[in-house]
Amino acid sequence: MPGKGIPDKERQKIAWVLTLVRDFQIVPKEYFKKLRNTDEIWEVRSSHGGNAVRLLGFLHKGNLAVLTNGFMKKSQKTPAQEIAVAEQRKKDYEKRNENG
């Protein structure tokens, strides 16, 4: 989302959702869900004032959420190109962290 300013209220909502994901063992699907037909990609979901922000990433060793990319969602379906970016960054991350 470089170059696009996110209003303060939306940034606050994103921070709140990320805190939820970090602090709670069970997070409601409206905020955090695994995307089907992907390489274990998860979506952090935040909406405020009709704007939907999505952060994609994956879980490392089951308890660390690694966020790979984010975008403003404009349709119901998550764009395939955004999923592809997340999957490629996951592969890169795993390759760099094979021994750790």
**Is the distance from CB of 86 to CB of 69 less than 8 angstroms?**
yes
Most confident of 17-26, 47-56, 63-72, 78-87: 78-87
Question: Would the pTM of this model clear 0.75, i.e. be above it?
Answer: yes
Alpha helices in 6-63 (DSSP H): 8-23
Which residues neighbour 91 within 8 Å (Cβ) at sequence distance 6 or greater? 39
- pLDDT, tens digit (0-9, with 9 covering 90-100), for 4-45: 677 788 889 999 999 999 999 889 999 999 999 999 999 999
Q: How high is the pLDDT of residue 59?
A: 93
User: Average pLDDT over the chain, rounded to whole?
Assistant: 88
